[in-house]
A and B are shown apart, each in its own frame.
Chain A
Amino acid sequence: MFRLLLIILVVALCAIWYVGRHAGWFGSVSFSPAVSLLVSIMLGLSIVWILILTIRGKFAERRVVFLYVGIAVAMPLFMSLTQKVAISSEAQMLYDYLQKVPPGSKVLVTFDYDPPSAAELQPMAESFLRYGFAHDFKMIIFGLWPQGPQQANLALTKILDEPDIRAKLPVYGVDYVNLGFQSGNEFVIQRLGSDFKSMFPADYQGTPYDSLPLVRNVRNYANVDYSFNLSAGYPGTKEWVLFAVDRYGLKMGAGNTAVQTTGMYPYVRSGQLLGILGGMNGAAEFEQLTGTLAKGTKFMLSQSFSHLVVVAFIVIGNVAYFMHERRKGKRSL
């Protein structure tokens, strides 16, 4: 009964806040640096308290861990603290190469991910598109994942609405084009090496390939100056390296989910990839490099807080384990 009442109360509060926001009663909430610091200290002290309780033999249940991770992720979103993001050599490498790509170059931007990975890859996509429009790249967009082109459209809508980009008056079909989705995984990448048009006879909206001035003369990878792949798995960066980079000499950088990144580092070291952005940290690095801070940077504080909480609970878990073992040992004597 108590739980039901609690849920009803929370839903009612959410509804009031939602209506209030649209009616203009409430605005966004932001903690001052002092309050942010106080919240952080309180969170740290409460974890120390859990550690003390664990040493005393009172073990916290798993839901406490979930609650702390939730708090650690949510609280920093309200904080006005900023975190310094160190630039990795792989992100620097990607940015350095991008700076060498001249304005007017034809750039392939491939969206091989779907909404579940958007938290990490969408900030990268937005930053890259922003950079591309600002540097007058002619961007050819498509995806080997069905929802990829939709993610591209979401990013495009947002970026094209920014005053700096809007002022450049980018034209669809001339400055950028979304060719949509094509199934076939690595076979598509292979086929694009000889004929783009056979894989994308029309764009996302059904406009015939030859009617789009940007791609009319793009026959294969030889007509593309640079490529940026956003990938969350298969098919993704690995397949692009195997079938486009090594076979056709496509120049490529990549943005990957953190899970995937470790597997891609060898390709950077060997020069097969011209730099890589790994996870949300990679998105934040790219934002720092391009000088436009956005969601990637904003989320890094949550990322760091949650990591600290995870590390703290790994320590607490180990303490709990050894306490439990010691008790078992005493009982068996």
Chain B
Amino acid sequence: MNTGIMDHLALWTAAFLTLGIISFLYRDNVWYKICEAVFVGASAGYWFVTYFWDNIYGKFWVGVFPGDPSRSPDYALLVGGALGLLMLMRLIPKIGWLSRWPLAFIVGATAGLNLIGYFASNVMVQVADTVRPLLGADGGASLYDVIGNVVVAVGTFTALIYFFFSKEHKGAFGGAAKVGIFVLMVTFGASFGYTVMSRMSLLIGRIDFLLGDWLGLIK
């Protein structure tokens, strides 16, 4: 195996940090705290460097002052640069109010962009999909699909009834609300199952690193 000294050092450092984070399961300790601090510091540093070189230098500086004579400067970027600068005014309390302008721009732009997107994709298309013909458009849906369509339609309707609080949950309405709770519980259960799977996957990844990449115990 052709491994340099830096690779050995990197492996041992990664193993040290991984074990340090896992050591929290035993109890809170200094090793864990050191690893946590290193993680937070390294993340912050990484993000700063990435954004600086990708955005401030790579997009803004090179865009406004292109070294290449064949490219013309894009002065529109100065507007974005100015808004970014205004955001930093929060650091000076006297003129901190100036940061509201870029914030207003961000909130407005995001809201404007998302309004149409969410309405078209999450409302219109999803509603259309919820109320699809139970037996399929041509009546040729399989039994599996028919049951699926019924479950989705009934589940959505009853779950919505559960969240309808301006009418007391009594009688048939209350019964439907109870079905809605059941649907919600099944949904949360499925999400929980997937969450457990995800967390376990992360642990498997780290154990694979420790036993495989680091110690070479597994192939």
Task: Identify which of A29, A246, A307 contacts B117 (C-beta below 8 A).
Answer: A246
Chain B positions within 8 Å of A303 at CB level: 197, 200-201, 204
Q: Which residues between 130 and 147 of chain A lie within 8 Å of chain B, taking CB atoms?
A: 146
Q: Knowing A183-B51, A242-B118, A266-B129, say if A280 contacts B216 (CB, 8 Å).
A: no
- Pairs A-B, 3 closest by C-beta atoms: A119-B205, A258-B198, A270-B129
Is the Cβ of B125 less than 8 Å from the Cβ of A28? no
Chain A residues positioned under 8 Å from B187 (CB to CB): 262
**What would 14 A/B residue contacts be, using CB atoms closer than 8 Å?**
A14-B214, A22-B3, A70-B203, A73-B204, A77-B208, A77-B212, A78-B218, A120-B202, A181-B50, A258-B195, A259-B194, A266-B129, A279-B198, A280-B197
Closest to A186 in B: B113
Asked whether any CB of chain B lies closer than 8 Å to the CB of A40, the reply is: no
CB neighbours of B207 from chain A (8 A): 70, 73-74, 77, 302
Contact status B217-A28, CB under 8 Å: yes
In the complex, besides A257-B201, A303-B204, A307-B197, 15 extra interface pairs with C-beta distance below 8 angstroms are A14-B15, A17-B215, A22-B1, A70-B207, A119-B201, A119-B208, A146-B46, A181-B50, A183-B55, A258-B195, A258-B201, A271-B129, A272-B121, A278-B194, A280-B204
Cβ-based interface call for B72 (8 A): no
Please state if A77 and B211 are interface contacts (CB–CB under 8 Å): yes
The tally of residues in A whose CB lies under 8 Å from a CB in B reads 58
**Closest CB in chain B relative to A89 CB, distance in Å:** 9
Is A321 at the interface (CB under 8 A from chain B)?
no
CB–CB A259/B198 < 8 A: yes
Q: Which residues of B contact A242 (CB under 8 A)?
A: 114, 117-118, 120-122
B54 at the interface (CB under 8 A from A): yes
> Complex formed: what's the CA distance from A29 to B215 in Å?
11
| Residues on the A chain within 8 Å of B109, using CB | 187
A71 smallest CB distance to B (angstroms): 10
The answer to whether the Cβ of A159 comes within 8 Å of any Cβ in the partner chain is: no
Q: CB distance B200 to A74 under 8 Å?
A: no
CB of B197 within 8 A of CB of A258, answer yes
A241 at the interface (CB under 8 A from B): yes
Checking B50, B120, B195 against A146 with a beta-carbon cut-off of 8 angstroms, the contacting residue is B50
Cβ of B170 under 8 Å from chain A: no
- Which A residues are CB-close (under 8 A) to B122? 242
Interface residues of A (CB under 8 A from B): 14, 17-18, 21-22, 26-30, 63, 66, 69-70, 73-74, 77-78, 116-120, 146, 180-183, 186-187, 190, 241-243, 245-247, 257-259, 261-262, 266, 269-272, 278-281, 295, 299, 302-303, 306-307, 310
| Given known contacts A186-B113, A279-B194, A299 and B118 CB-to-CB distance under 8 angstroms | no
The answer to whether A299 and B208 have CB atoms under 8 Å apart is: yes
> Please, how many residues of chain B have a CB less than 8 angstroms from a CB on the other chain?
51
B165 within 8 A of A: no
For B23, the closest partner residue in chain A by CB is A7
Tell whether B25 is near chain A: CB-to-CB under 8 Å: yes
Within 8 A of A (CB), among B183-204: 187, 190-191, 194-198, 200-204
Contact partners of B114 in chain A: CB under 8 A: 186, 242
Q: In the bound complex, what is the Cα–Cα distance between A108 and B110 (angstroms)? A: 25
Kindly state the separation between the CA atoms of A18 and B196 in the bound complex, as whole angstroms: 32
Q: Which residues of B contact A259 (CB under 8 A)?
A: 191, 194-195, 198
A22 CA / B11 CA spacing, docked (Å) = 13
Q: Which residues of A sit under 8 angstroms from B1, Cβ to Cβ?
A: 22
Instruction: Find A28's partner among B26, B113, B204, B219 (CB 8 Å cutoff).
Output: B219
Bits for B1-34, please: 1 = Cβ < 8 Å to A, else 0. 1010000000010010000000001100000000
- Complex interface: chain B residues within 8 A of A26 (CB): 216
**For B12, what are the chain A residues with a Cβ–Cβ distance below 8 Å?**
18
Name the B residues within 8 Å of A310 (CB-CB).
196, 200
Q: Report A79 CB to chain B, min CB distance, Å.
A: 10
